[in-house]
Amino acid sequence: MSKGLLLVILLCNVLAGVANASEASHLLKQQNKFSAQVEKIENSTGEQALFLEDVLRRKNGVLRDEIADLLVKSPDSESLKTLIPAQATMLQALIMHADAQAQTLFQEARDASEADKAEYQFLAQQRVASVDIYYTELATTFDWAKKQGIKLDESGFKQDLQQRSEVLYDIVIYLDGRKKALDQRKLYTTEEDKPALEKQIVALAQLQRYLLSSMNNTVTLMSNFGLDVTDYKQTLFAMTGDINADILDVNVALGLFHEWLDSFKDWAFDNSPSILVKLLVFLGILWATHILSKLVAKLVKKSVSHSKMDFSVLMQDFFISIVSKAVTFIGLLIALSQIGINLGPLLTGFGVAGVIIGFALQDTLSNFASGLMILIYRPFDVKDLVQVAGIQGTVSHMSLVSTTIRTLDNQTLVIPNNKIWGDVINNMTSERVRRVDMVFGIGYSDDFDFAIEISKKVLQNHDKVLKHPEMNVRVHTLNESSVDLIVRPWVRTDDYWDVYWDVTEEIKRQFDANGITIPFPQRDVHIYKTDQA
């Protein structure tokens, strides 16, 4: 490498260092300016404070992006040891200010008139959103400090997260109780007062959703810092019903199970005096549902089997099964509600179980979808002779996940529906009339016109060969050892094999009786003798 090139590289490195130093100096000036701005915000009130904080938050976002770039380009910069702690200090001050403003606005919302309540509540929600942003940025700042080896005290931040989650937890529980009380009150109020109650319920539900979102953000940060969040995750799941990876956490799942178990114990204790009567009602409803499902199944069977409906047997069985099971399921839910079980958590549990089972049984769901396609497009029906998935036999019966085929040698095979729908389906009995394709070879020295006449007489004399469509007997191929004739009569589908075997046997007899040969494969070999040298 030449000395000139080395000098150029060295100069570029020096210039890059100067540029990074200049950039770091600019960031320090910006940080000092923003830190001074915080004190100005704390001394302002009303719209002025909101305006100054909004400007600071936007500009500080740009500054943080530049700090992140500096961490990549020049991680050894001494300026980072000043920038990162300054960011942490500024964000902590902003959190305290925004949190105090939010508490004040919530207090004013509680004391305000109905006309002003929504405005104060909206402003409070904005302050809560600001606090969430500051907490997230502060958590990122602590992560920067760890990577740079800068010691920052995280204990206060963890305590703030813990206290914030507790406050949000108490508020959302309170709002949930208020909303349930208003729902109960709405049952006994007049029609004129219901719109006002519904408006309050909607406002409470909106505020609750907003605070649950903030709580979820706080719980995520707590989890990243190794704090125990099991109780909070249980509350989030119970109130939102959102299914995510938290439900797979052992502690969360056990907590939910114990909560449901305690709920069941409370229910059993409260209803013990009448539990016997309720059990009898429960069994009575199940018995009535069983009778009703059978009656409904008979009515549906009579309806779908009507000739004008033109449903296949498989589709008829499907409708009958679905309706019968639906009646049974509805009856079971009614019976459970009569003994005091709350169906909301139960249906939620079914939803969770359905998602887990769905992931575990993906192949079964594929079979289910294929079964529906078979029922809709009707490529075959019960008692049809088919060839599917390499198997030939008669369709015995079908469910939504599999089809049972009885082979010609009386074996019973159960084939998954996705293997049937994803392959060629050959239905041999879907049409009432079929053509029997046979080929007979005769010698080159035989009279093929005479052979054709014999074949036609055999077909004409068979009582199961149809006159229409007409039979077809012709010379087909001049093969290596034979002249091949095609013999193609038309028959009813049920008579296919009888005609095939009978005609084959009779043509062989007639050919033998009339001196027409069916030659073996033969080859002429010519041998030439040559003189030896």
CATH number at residue 464: 3.30.70.100
Residues 401 and 466 occupy one common structural domain: no
How far is it, in rounded angstroms, from Cα 21 to Cα 30?
A: 14
CATH number at residue 412: 2.30.30.60
Residues 77 and 217 occupy one common structural domain: yes
* Total count of domains within the chain: 3
- What pLDDT is stored for residue 14 in this prediction? 35
88 inside domain: yes
- What pLDDT is stored for residue 367 in this prediction? 78
How far is it, in rounded angstroms, from Cα 279 to Cα 285?
A: 10
Find, among 157, 133, 143, the residue nearest to 58 by Cα: 133
**Strand bridging mode 391-398 / 490-492:** unpaired
Please answer whether residues 473 and 489 qualify as being in contact, where contact means their C-beta atoms are separated by less than 8 angstroms. Answer: no
Residues 49 and 143 occupy one common structural domain: yes
Instruction: Give the chain's radius of gyration (CA, Å).
Output: 42
307 inside domain: no
What strands, in cross-sheet order, belong to the sheet with 425-427?
412-416, 402-407, 391-398, 385-388, 425-427
- What pLDDT is stored for residue 271 in this prediction? 57
Residues 385 and 510 occupy one common structural domain: no
344 inside domain: no
Q: Name the helix (H) or strand (E) containing 124.
A: helix 114-148
How far is it, in rounded angstroms, from Cα 429 to Cα 408?
A: 14
293 inside domain: no
280 inside domain: no
Residues 421 and 443 occupy one common structural domain: no
Q: Which of 203, 233, 253 is the last residue in one of the domains?
A: 253
- 516: tokens are 């027409």
**Phi, psi for residue 99 in degrees, rounded to 5:** -65, -40
Q: Which of 206, 233, 253 is the last residue in one of the domains?
A: 253
282 inside domain: no
- What pLDDT is stored for residue 459 in this prediction? 93
- What pLDDT is stored for residue 507 in this prediction? 94
Residues 410 and 467 occupy one common structural domain: no
Residues 97 and 48 occupy one common structural domain: yes
Residues 409 and 443 occupy one common structural domain: no
In the block, which residue shows the tokens 């409906």? 309
Residues 409 and 505 occupy one common structural domain: no
Residues 28 and 136 occupy one common structural domain: yes
27 inside domain: yes
Which segments within 142-250 are labelled E, that is strand? none
- What pLDDT is stored for residue 248 in this prediction? 45
Residues 508 and 394 occupy one common structural domain: no
- The residue range of the domain holding 50 is 20-253
In the block, which residue shows the tokens 């208020």? 178
Residues 418 and 440 occupy one common structural domain: no
- What pLDDT is stored for residue 261 in this prediction? 65
Instruction: Give per-residue burial for 143-165: e unless 16+ CB within 10 Å, then b.
Output: ebbeeeebebebeebbebbbebb
How far is it, in rounded angstroms, from Cα 34 to Cα 27?
A: 10
Chunked into runs of 10 residues, the chain (533 residues) has average pLDDT values of 40 41 71 77 75 82 83 80 83 82 77 71 77 84 84 81 80 81 80 78 78 79 76 68 49 57 63 67 83 84 67 70 82 75 65 58 72 79 84 84 87 88 84 91 92 93 91 92 93 91 94 90 77 63
At 409, is the secondary structure helix, strand, or coil? Answer: coil
- What pLDDT is stored for residue 269 in this prediction? 62
- What pLDDT is stored for residue 314 in this prediction? 65
- 182: tokens are 């208003």
Contacts of 78 (CB under 8 A, 6+ apart): 24
Q: Which of 204, 237, 253 is the last residue in one of the domains?
A: 253
At 468, is the secondary structure helix, strand, or coil? Answer: coil
363 inside domain: no
